[in-house]
Amino acid sequence: MAVSAGERRAEAADGARLAVERGPDGTVTIHLAGSWTLAKGLPGSDQVEQALAQAPPPRTVRFDLEGLEHWDTGVLAFLAKVEDLARARKVSVDRGGLPEHVHDLGTAEFHLRSERRQLQRDGQRRQPLRRDQQLRRKHQRVG
C-alpha cells in the first residue's frame, strides 16, 4: 500500500523532531533531533516560515543539531530550504552550530544551487564546472 506525503510527515513526527525557538536577541534557533531520513519522511518547514514571518523580523537563524541521531541527504535539503527562506527575508544564517561535515556539504550544495540560478538567469546551458564535480565526489564519500 502506498503511503501519502501527509502520512510520511505524520510518521516523521515520531522519528524526526523539529523545534523552533526565538530568543530575546532576535535569533531564531532551529533544533533538529531524532532520525532525519528520507525513508521515514521529514517534517515540513511551516514552523520555520512562521518564525521568519513574525514582526519584528529575526536578525539571525542558527542551527542546533545536538540531538540529531541518524540523518541522510534529507537534512541537507531541509537546511538548504531554511537558508533560502532566511535569505529571501534578508535574515542572516549562522552555520556555526553545524557539525563540520554537514557544514561542508551544505556549503557545497549552496554553491551548486547559486551557480545553477546564475546560469538560469544568464540563459546559458553549460556542463557543470569541474569544481562542482570535484565537490560532489568529495562529499559523496562523507554521506
Which mean pLDDT values do the consecutive 10-residue runs of the chain (143 residues) have? 40 76 95 92 93 94 92 87 92 85 55 56 55 60 54
pTM, entire model: 0.65
Contacts of 68 (CB under 8 A, 6+ apart): 32, 33, 34, 36, 75
Q: What is the pLDDT of residue 96?
A: 84
Helices and strands of the chain, counted as H and E runs: 5, 4
Dump pLDDT digits (tens) for 53-83: 999 999 999 999 999 988 888 888 899 899 9
pLDDT of residue 62: 95
Q: Looking at residue 76, what is its pLDDT?
A: 85
- What three-state secondary structure class fits 66? strand
pLDDT of residue 93: 92
For residue 20, the model assigns a pLDDT of 96
Given the DSSP bridges, would you call strands 16-22 and 27-36 parallel, antiparallel or unpaired? antiparallel
At 47 the pLDDT is 95
In angstroms, what CA-CA distances link 132 with 6, 46, 100, 101?
34, 31, 19, 17
Q: Which amino acid is at 111?
A: H
